[in-house]
Amino acid sequence: MKSRLHKDERYEQLLELAHQIIDEAGTDALTLISLADKAGITKPITYRHFGNRKTLLYTLFQDTLTKLAHNMENGINQEANSLDDAIQVFAKTYMKCFAEHGKSCFAVIAALKAYPEYAMIDSELQSFFCQTLEASLTPFLPENSKIPTVTLMMIFGATCTVGGMFINQLITKDEVVENVSRLIRKLIEP
């Protein structure tokens, strides 16, 4: 007999299964009913966790960002002793997130844009990226240095572009890390 999952465990399981559905069949295939079926649970359980499809999609978006920020902070704290280390950790961690959830994250963002309240979801992603990059690198910059906002946005645009190239198998993971790292160094070093 299967044991029941704790509420938090079930929630994490549902998020992972939702990513799988999107990776396998796209966002149109993701509904609370299809998620319940894939998890082998009753439909009311998915409704209790997410309420509706729109909330599920936004939760997937937020979950990806939260995990990226957590992994970034841990990587910086454990591996970075210099600006170059921090740049490498940032590029590797961001690329790992792209490899794991980039395709589904882009699909979720596209699906969320169909809802008027999420029409500016790209701005939320851009803001998150810029804040995370700045928080990751600032401790290793000269005192009172600040990365200009336009520089952060240029790095965001370039990183998304090469991440998309990776998803479409036009560039390898190592090439992304190398090129993103080099770009960040060139744009922020004095």
Query: Do residues 26 and 91 share a domain?
Result: no
The answer to whether the CB of 49 falls within 8 A of the CB of 67 is no
Query: Do residues 40 and 112 share a domain?
Result: no
Query: Do residues 85 and 139 share a domain?
Result: yes
Query: Do residues 182 and 96 share a domain?
Result: yes
Query: Do residues 156 and 71 share a domain?
Result: yes
d(C-alpha 67, C-alpha 132), whole Å: 12
Query: Do residues 108 and 184 share a domain?
Result: yes
Local confidence pLDDT in tens for the 190 residues of the chain: 345 768 888 899 999 999 999 989 999 999 999 999 999 999 999 999 999 999 999 999 999 888 888 888 888 889 999 999 999 999 999 888 888 887 888 899 999 999 999 999 999 999 999 999 999 999 999 988 899 999 999 999 999 899 889 888 899 999 999 999 999 999 997 6
For residue 74, give its domain range.
60-188
Query: Do residues 84 and 140 share a domain?
Result: yes
pTM of structure:
0.83
Residue 8 sits in a domain whose CATH number is 1.10.10.60
Query: Do residues 11 and 97 share a domain?
Result: no
Residue 26 has which token pair? 């796209």
SS3 labels along the chain: CCCCCCHHHHHHHHHHHHHHHHHHHCHHHCCHHHHHHHHCCCHHHHHHHHCCHHHHHHHHHHHHHHHHHHHHHHHHHHHCCCHHHHHHHHHHHHHHHHHHHHHHHHHHHHHHCCCHHHCCHHHHHHHHHHHHHHHHHHHHCCCCCCCCHHHHHHHHHHHHHHHHHHHCCCCCHHHHHHHHHHHHHHHHCC
